[in-house]
Every structure is written in C-alpha cells, then in structure tokens.
Structure 1
Amino acid sequence: MFYQNKNIIVIVTGSIAAFKAAVLVRYLIEQGAQVRVSLTAAGAKFVGPLTFSTLTKYPVLQDIFDQNDGQVLHVKWARWADYIFVVPATADFLAKAANGLADDAASSTLLASSARKIAAPAMNDQMWENQATKRNVKQLKKDGWLIIEPVVGFLAEGYDAKGRLPEPEDIILQAQVRLLAEKVL
C-alpha cells in the first residue's frame, strides 16, 4: 500500500465539502498511514475537531500557539510529515499558500514543512474560474504542489458546475498515481 507507514497531515479548510475530509482521513488510516489533522477556524465551522481526533487518535491542531513538551506543535508536525493534503482547499487558503502567508496553525505548518503538498480545491465555479485563483493554482504547481482539480457536480449554490470536491477515494488514488508516475520519470 502506497500510504503505509507514511506520516500525513490533512489540513481541513472552510468549505461545505469539509465533511469529505473525515472520509479521506479514514481511508488513509485504513491504508496504514499515520494521520494528523490541522483544522482552520473556518473548517471548524463545518466539521468539529472531535470528529478528527476520534478518527486519528491525535489532538487536532487549531491554534498556532499550541505546544507539546515545550515544542512548537506546528513546527514539530511540519518536520514529521511526509505528505500534507489540503482537503478541501478553499480559494482563500490557496491564495495564502501561493503567497507564503502563515497567519494560522495550518498555513504556518505548510510554510514550515518540506513535505510533499497535495491540494484538492472545492469552491463555487466562479471562484474556481477567477483569474486570481488560476494564478494562485499556477504558482502552487510551479512550487511543486500536486493539484487534484475539482469536478463538475452539484454545488452548494444549487446547480451543476466545476468546483465540487472529488470523492475522497478519487483524491487518494489520483495523488497515488501521480506521485508514483513522478518517481518513474
């Protein structure tokens, strides 16, 4: 199994699709990964930390000032991770990441980590097609991020369009296939 014995952080941001992150976490654990979750303040509006701490058996990182045995937790986690998944990745979080902003625990963990980063955006179709979002995604790809693009589907706004988060199994499989292909090339 590709993710067996891998250390993975899943960053959950503020999207209606945040509930799918719990399924993603469960699948990664079933594949033998050690998983920890960092939850943004907006993400916690959709899915609470208890869900993720129950699944992972680890506390959820939410506060940039959290410490463990005197160590700054987001830096400790950043060094621990092999992969960081941002699922769902909002337009706001993609913009922060593309510009190196680190104003909360999740974005600070990203900036402090040399782990491979994978983002699965989910947002309104107009936000996805916005030039600023396109520019930010292009920058993240240039920085080595693997982007699992949103799919066409029923959005929270009540219509079908591109912006829907792919299913968790598809995110995991796409990341695995693309990461393996990179190793072969």
Structure 2
Amino acid sequence: MLTRNGFSVKVVMAPNATKFISPLVFEELTKNPVYVEMFERKENIEHIALCQWADFLVICPLSANTLSKIATGICDNLLTSIVCAFPSSKKILLVPAMNKNMWRNPVLQDNVKKLKKYKKYVIMNPEKGELLCKDVGIGRLPSLKKIYHKIKSLI
C-alpha cells in the first residue's frame, strides 16, 4: 500500500521475523534490498545510514520481544540499533501484534507505558479479533488501511 502511494520503503527485519516470512517477499514489493543482520552489507554503517535516509519508522508487526528491547534500550540487532540511533525529532510508529496473554502481560504493559512517555514513539494498540493462534482477544494487528491512515497522519 505504501509503495503504491508513492512512498519509498526499505524493510528491516529482526532475525526471527525471517522465520515467518521470507525477505524476498519484501524485496519484490519494495524493489529495495531487505536488511536483516548488522554489518551484512559493506557500503555504510548501516544503522546510521538507514536512520539518516528515513523520514520516519514503522515497526509492524511489533513483537513482545522487540517492544521490550526497545523499551529497555537493548540494541542487539540491526532493527533495535536503528531505533536507538533514530533522531528524537522523527517519529517511530509501533504496531504491536501478539497473543492476547502476551499483550496483557503486566511487564509488557509497563514497557508500553514507558514508551508512551516519549514523543518519538506513537503506539497503535492492537485490536480485538481472531489471532494467528486462533484465540480471540486483543492482540490482532489493525487493518492495513488503518495503519496507512495513521502513517499519513504522522507526515
């Protein structure tokens, strides 16, 4: 949806995300390379170069693991390093999606509250519905249309 509407998109995947979907899918959709590992490509210091290139970040879907890493400042992969180095003058849209019990976990909710304190982060809460695991509850990714409209509202 973003590329069809004139956005230039570069995808950064956490290493575990590649177990759910192949980076080749995003390379085909965006016509750009997909970034996964730190120091994988040789052209620049990647996390800094990608921060300078991007006007804003969208992390979608955002796992409980990555959300917690962001909230605690852990930079152990390319994605979390980009988030840490991203200028505070630019927005980061976080779109969590996970099992309902993970979303309700009090430690995770403390991390969500922590991130909401910073203007840099915009959190789009998950919705209620059928989840990937077939449970029903809050944890479902909002519709792509809603995410797109949220992105448009941030620029």
TM-score tier by shorter-chain length is: over 0.9
CA distance in 1, matches of 2:150, 2:58: 12
- Considering fraction of residues, name the structure with more strand: 1
Runs of 4+ in 1 over 6 A off after TM superposition: none
Cα distance in 1 between the residues matched to 2:42 and 2:91: 24
- Report whether the alignment pairs 1:167 with 2:143: yes
Percent sequence identity over matched residues? 34
| Counterparts of residues 30-179 of structure 1 (less than 5 Å) | 30-69=4-43, 71-114=44-87, 115-144=90-119, 145-177=121-153, 179=154
Distance in 2 (CA, whole Å) between partners of 1:68 and 1:74 is 12
- 1:19 paired residue number: none
**TM superposition score normalised by structure 1:** 0.78
**Is the Cα–Cα contact under 8 Å of residues 15 and 37 in structure 2 kept in the other structure?**
no
Moved more, 29-38 or 166-175: 166-175
Q: How far off its partner does 1:86 sit?
A: 0.5
The runs of 5 or more residues in structure 2 that have no matched partner are none
Contact 1:74–1:109, Cα closer than 8 Å, also in 2:
yes
TM value normalised by structure 2: 0.92
How far 1:132 moved relative to its partner?
Answer: 0.9
1: distance between equivalents of 2:26 and 2:151?
A: 21
Contact 1:148 1:175 in 2 (8 A): no
RMSD: 1.3
Structure 1 unaligned spans of 5+? 1-26, 181-185
Distance 1:116 1:134 in 2: 21
User: What is the one-letter code of the residue matched to 1:76?
Assistant: A
- Per-residue CA deviations over 1:52-93 (Å, capped at 9, x if unaligned) read 111111111111112343x11221001111110010001110
